[in-house]
Each structure stands twice: as structure tokens, then as C-alpha cells.
Structure 1
Amino acid sequence: MNKYKKLILGLILDALGLVSFIIPGIGEFSDIVWAPISGWLMTKLYVGKAGKVAGFISLVEEGLPGFDVIPTFTLMWLYTYVIKKETPEINA
């Protein structure tokens, strides 16, 4: 997947994580469902050890109340392509 498509997808997924703030009461239930999905998606977007660590962080961040404002997918993209300067996969 192109790194910029991954960024756009990450921004969308981070926005989905904020839904719990929009719907009071129901939002916390959505975190219970969203947290494991978020962690799993993170491990699929970013393979290897970094992806597994980020997946766990995403699971915890989405599962804890009040931490939904942290843009985990966007931060992982920044880590991968700006800080670590990884080149995109050719065959992905």
C-alpha cells in the first residue's frame, strides 16, 4: 500500500476512534468493540515488531476512557515514514 494511502487510512481510523466522544453513553460501549479491531488493524497496516507494539498500544489507548484523542495510527505513520524513514514496500 502506498504510504500516503496508509496516512489517509490512518487519519480515517483515528477519526473513527473519536466517535465515542460524539455519542455520550453509547461511546464507551463502542470503545469495547473498537479497541481490539483497532489493535488488529494496526498490526495489519504495520508488520513486524513495530506493528505488534503499535497494535498493543492502540488496543490499550482505545480501551481506556479519555485516551481516544491520541491519534495512534497517525503517530505510527509518522514514526514509520518520517522518524524511521522507512521506504514503502514494493510488492505491497
Structure 2
Amino acid sequence: MKKYQKLIVSLVFDSLGYVSFIFPPFDFIWAPLSAYFMTKLYKGKEGKIAAVVTFIEEALPFFDVIPTFSIMWLYTYVLKAKSKAN
């Protein structure tokens, strides 16, 4: 998957996290699914760590506003890329 395709998918997944504000039981389904999707989008150790963070963030009430997938995209393609360039 290309860089900007991942950004779009990340934005969609972050948006899905907001469903629990309307339908709170959605978190029971979305928390493990979001962790799984995170490991598929972002490979390696960083992806696994992000999956744990995503699971916890989605499982806890009121933390769904954190755009974890988008933050991981920024880390992968902006911050990490910038540190490799230096």
C-alpha cells in the first residue's frame, strides 16, 4: 500500500473510533479490530507497539478522540523519515 493510501485508510480507521460516542458497545468490537488493523498497516516493532496503544485507547472510555492511526502515519512517514535524512 502506498504512503497516501495509508493516510486515507488511517483517517477512516480513526473516524470509525468515533462511532462509540454514538454507540458505546462498538468499542468491544472495534478495540481488538483496530489493534489487528494497526499491525497490518504498520509492520515491525513499531506496528506492534502502536497496536497495543490503539487497543488500550479504543477500549478506554473517552480516549477515542486520539487519532492513533494518523499519529502512527505521521511518525512513520514524517518524523521517522526526517530522522533518517539527518
TM-score bracket for the superposition, by shorter chain length: over 0.9
Residue 70 (structure 2) aligned to one of 71, 74, 91: 74
Identity %: 59
Q: How far did 1:28 drift?
A: 2.0
Question: Normalized per residue, which structure has more helix?
Answer: 2
SS state at 1:85 partner: helix
Structure 2 counterpart of 1:48: 44
Q: How far did 1:20 drift?
A: 1.1
**Shift >4 Å, 4+ stretches:** none
Query: d(CA) in 1 for partners of 2:81 and 2:65?
Result: 25
Structure 1 counterpart of 2:26: 30
TM normalised by structure 2 equals: 0.92
TM normalised by structure 1 equals: 0.86
Name stretches of at least 5 consecutive residues in structure 2 with no aligned partner: none
